[in-house]
Structures are given as structure tokens and as C-alpha cells.
């Protein structure tokens, strides 16, 4: 009997040792995967045939979750573009839905191949990623309650301003020197406005249109002299020219033959 117990305990110790060597924990497995992807993102795509786009599906009409999605349950202008880029180059499009603030770090770690997230091309971001040619021009706008005294950007001085953390709207308001409250999602900012807890939300134009269409009593205030045009680009890991060239070639064709503008019209008309 003692012998059996001894054998059993040896087997158990061996099992634990094997398990830890093979990284049985989920976290370890994820880290190992990320490491592998990091070493050979390009080789990975070629082998698996998947092109993994990171996005944050909280940004209609560019990306949002819908039962009838374009890629799995993800729909929107960016999802159409991502699908076309993948198909043009013989890949299967895959979406990884992560927080906007974590997209660049995930790209750098090789967990995703590209970012498509209505992401504005900025000098700051260019230090961490390489951007495609621009595919859409937007601007920041203000959303206020109908009848608000905010008629131009300068009127926001002293008001309660809500923005989304990590969005260019936050940067723009910071540069103007105004105090603001930051939220994780655009919809949270809108709830603050609807409930009278803030006076104005600063966010990208097309997304603002969607929120105004969805909520009675809200209007958009534009101020071209205060908010510069912003251009959206697809980001790849620094130096991944192989993928960037493919993405740029697809975007060029979609811009030239009107595909992107017809999707933009389709998705903004159906807000
Ligand atoms: N265009 C804005 C930015 O780049 C917002 C993008 C987004 O929310 N997906 O920060």
C-alpha cells in the first residue's frame, strides 16, 4: 500500500512538472502565442492565411457589433474595407475587438496584424506605428443639447466637456487648454449629456451624426476654424512594409473606383 502511495505521489509530481514546462496556464499560453506572433508576424499571416485586424467596435458607423456583421458580428465602413483588403490579398479577415487605448500596444506585441479603427493619423502615433495612405477625412465636432449656448469651440470655456479617453477629441480639447472629463466609450459621454451631467461632447463627425440620430434633443455644432481636418489611416507594425504595400494598393483602388465613398454614403444614410 505504501509503495502504491509512493508511486502515485511520484506520478503527481511528474505531472505538475510537465504541466508547468508546457505552460498549462491560460496566461502563459497567451504570452507564448503573442511572443511567437511578435517574432514573425508576416510569416504568420502567410502560414495561417488570416489577416487579423484590431479594432474597437464602439465607433459607429465605422465599427460596431451587429448580428448581421460583415466580418463575424462586426459591421461598419472599416469592416467593409478590412474585408476587401484581406480578400484582395488572399487572406481571411479576422477581427480582434479591443479597447481603443490598447490597439497600438497589441500591434507592437504582434497580437494583431493591423489596426483599422477610424484611427486618425497623428505625428504622435507615427512614432509607434506606420500608417497607410489616408482613406477618410473627418473632423471633430461638438454635440450639445438643443438650445445650448455653445455655438463655437471657444464657448466651451468653463463648461463641462466630455471626451473619450485616447481619442483625438481628448487631445484637441487638451490643446485648447479646457478642463474635461474622459470616458471609455462614446456612448458613456452621450449618456452624460442626455442626463445633463455635462454640457458638450467632442467627438469625430460621422460618429456624432450617429449619436444625434439615436438620441432626441441633441444637435451638432461645427467650428471649422477651431477643429482641423483629420485623416483616418490603417496602422501596421513599424517596418512591416510588406503588409503596408498590400494595404495601400487596396486602398488606392477603393478610393479611385469610389468603393469607399459609396460605403461611407451607405452607412451614414442608414444612421
Ligand atoms: N479618430 C479618433 C482617433 O483617432 C477616434 C477613433 C476611434 O474612436 N475609433 O482618436
The residue ranges of every structural domain in the chain are 44-137+231-269, 140-221
Evaluate whether 102 touches 56 at the Cβ level (below 8 Å).
Answer: no
Q: What is the CATH number of domain 140-221?
A: 3.40.190.10
Ligand 1 center–CA 119 separation, angstroms: 5
Phi-psi group of 118: left, alpha or beta (phi > 0 → left; psi -120 to 50 → alpha; rest → beta):
left
State whether the beta carbon of 248 lies less than 6 angstroms from ligand 1.
Answer: no
What is the per-residue pLDDT for 38?
Answer: 45
Ligand 1 center–CA 230 separation, angstroms: 10
Q: Which atom of ligand 1 is nearest to the CA of 170?
A: 10
Q: Which atom of ligand 1 is nearest to the CA of 168?
A: 10
State whether the beta carbon of 132 lies less than 6 angstroms from ligand 1.
Answer: no
Q: What is the pLDDT along the chain (271 residues), one digit of tens a residue?
A: 445 555 545 444 444 444 444 433 333 334 444 444 444 455 455 557 999 999 999 999 999 999 989 999 999 999 999 999 999 999 999 999 999 999 999 999 999 999 999 999 999 999 999 999 999 999 999 999 999 999 999 999 999 999 999 999 999 999 999 999 999 999 999 999 999 999 999 999 999 999 999 999 999 999 999 999 999 999 999 999 999 999 999 999 999 999 999 999 999 987 6
State whether the beta carbon of 139 lies less than 6 angstroms from ligand 1.
Answer: no
Ligand 1 center–CA 124 separation, angstroms: 14
Ligand 1 center–CA 170 separation, angstroms: 10
CB atoms within 10 A of CB 264: 19
Ligand 1 center–CA 61 separation, angstroms: 12
Same fold, 44-137+231-269 and 140-221: yes
- Nearest Cα to Cα of residue 41 among 100, 115, 116: 115
Q: What is the CATH number of domain 44-137+231-269?
A: 3.40.190.10
Ligand 1 center–CA 40 separation, angstroms: 28
Return the best residue to mutate from 97, 102, 119 for the ligand 1 pocket (most ligand atoms within 8 A of CB). 119
Q: What is the pTM of this model?
A: 0.82
Return the best residue to mutate from 74, 120, 137 for the ligand 1 pocket (most ligand atoms within 8 A of CB). 120
| HEC per residue, the chain | CHHHHHHHHHHHHHHHHHHHHCCCCHHHHHHHHHHHHHHCHHHHHHHHCEEEEEECCEECCCEEECCCCCECCEECHHHHHHHHHHHHCCCEEEEEECCHHHHHHHHHCCCCCEECCCCECCHHHHCCEEECCCCEEEEEEEEEECCCCCCCHHHHCCCCEEEECCCHHHHHHHHHCCCCEEECCHHHHHHHHHCCCCCEEEEEHHHHHHHHHHCCCEEEECCCCCCCEEEECCEEECCCHHHHHHHHHHHHHHHHCCHHHHHHHHHHHCC
Amino acid at each position: 500500500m505504501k509503495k502504491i502511495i509512493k508511486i502515485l505521489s511520484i506520478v503527481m509530481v511528474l505531472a505538475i512538472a510537465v504541466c508547468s514546462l508546457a505552460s498549462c496556464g491560460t496566461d502563459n499560453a497567451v504570452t507564448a502565442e503573442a511572443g511567437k506572433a511578435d517574432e514573425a508576424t508576416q510569416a504568420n499571416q502567410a502560414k495561417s492565411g488570416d489577416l487579423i485586424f484590431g479594432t474597437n467596435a464602439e465607433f459607429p458607423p465605422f465599427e460596431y457589433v451587429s448580428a448581421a456583421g460583415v466580418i463575424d458580428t462586426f459591421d461598419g465602413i472599416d469592416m467593409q474595407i478590412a474585408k476587401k483588403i484581406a480578400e484582395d490579398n488572399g487572406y481571411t479577415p479576422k477581427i480582434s475587438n479591443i479597447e481603443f487605448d490598447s490597439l497600438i500596444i497589441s500591434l507592437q506585441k504582434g497580437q494583431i496584424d493591423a489596426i483599422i479603427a477610424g484611427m486618425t493619423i497623428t505625428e504622435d502615433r507615427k512614432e509607434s506605428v506606420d500608417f497607410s495612405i489616408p482613406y477618410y477625412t473627418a473632423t471633430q465636432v461638438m454635440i450639445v443639447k438643443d438650445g445650448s449656448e455653445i455655438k463655437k469651440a471657444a464657448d466651451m470655456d468653463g463648461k463641462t466637456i466630455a471626451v473619450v479617453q485616447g481619442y483625438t477629441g481628448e487631445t484637441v480639447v487638451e490643446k485648447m487648454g479646457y478642463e474635461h472629463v474622459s470616458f471609455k466609450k462614446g456612448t458613456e459621454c452621450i449618456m452624460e449629456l442626455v442626463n445633463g451631467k455635462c454640457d458638450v461632447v467632442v467627438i469625430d463627425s460621422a460618429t456624432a451624426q450617429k449619436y444625434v440620430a439615436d438620441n432626441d434633443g441633441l444637435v451638432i455644432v461645427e467650428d471649422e476654424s477651431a477643429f482641423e481636418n483629420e485623416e483616418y489611416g490603417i496602422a501596421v507594425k513599424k517596418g512591416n512594409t510588406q503588409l503596408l504595400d498590400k494595404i495601400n494598393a487596396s486602398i488606392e483602388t477603393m478610393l479611385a473606383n469610389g468603393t469607399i465613398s459609396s460605403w461611407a454614403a451607405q452607412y451614414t444614410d442608414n444612421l
